[in-house]
Amino acid sequence: MTRVALIAHDEKKDDLVDFAREHAAQLAEYDLIATGTTGGRLNEETNLDVDPQASGPLGGDLMIGAEVARDRLDGIVFLRDPLRAQPHEPDISALLRICDVHDTALATNLASATFLIEGLADQERQ
């Protein structure tokens, strides 16, 4: 089964919830994990079943990175706030590095997230 991680900085959590609603039919086909607060919001505000890991400040992003290192993720959507990221929020550097090492797709904005989800759907149909 396709497995996708969802992460969002505080200022982007609303955008990720909206994205998840827009792509709910496709995302419902996937095994979804997320950092703690983001996963909690997705579970509460969408009909998706998301497995929340620890919150970002407590290492949730590192837990997701470990899943990439174990080849257990097909992609990550990490909606980051490039202008106002707070010190307590997950840093994309480590995730970017591990995704590059393991050739795992990482989307950092809504446009690339859409391509990632559509690309995974196309892969499943082949």
Q: Based on the number of CB atoms within 10 Å of its own CB, is 85 exposed (0-12), middle (13-18) or buried (19 or more)?
A: middle
> Binding site for substrate: which residues?
9, 13, 35-38, 55-56, 88
The per-residue pLDDT of the chain, averaged, comes to 93
Domain 3-125 has CATH 3.40.50.720: no
Q: Which of 10, 51, 61, 81 is catalytic?
A: 61
SS3 101: helix
Tell me whether residue 49 is one of the annotated catalytic residues: no
Give domain limits for the chain: 3-125
Q: What pLDDT score was predicted for residue 124? A: 82
Condensed to tens digits (0 to 9), the pLDDT of residues 59-94 reads 999 999 999 999 999 999 999 988 776 766 666 888
Answer yes or no: are the C-beta atoms of 71 and 51 closer than 8 Å.
no
Count the Cβ atoms, other than its own, within 10 Å of residue 48.
19
Answer yes or no: are the C-beta atoms of 75 and 98 closer than 8 Å.
no
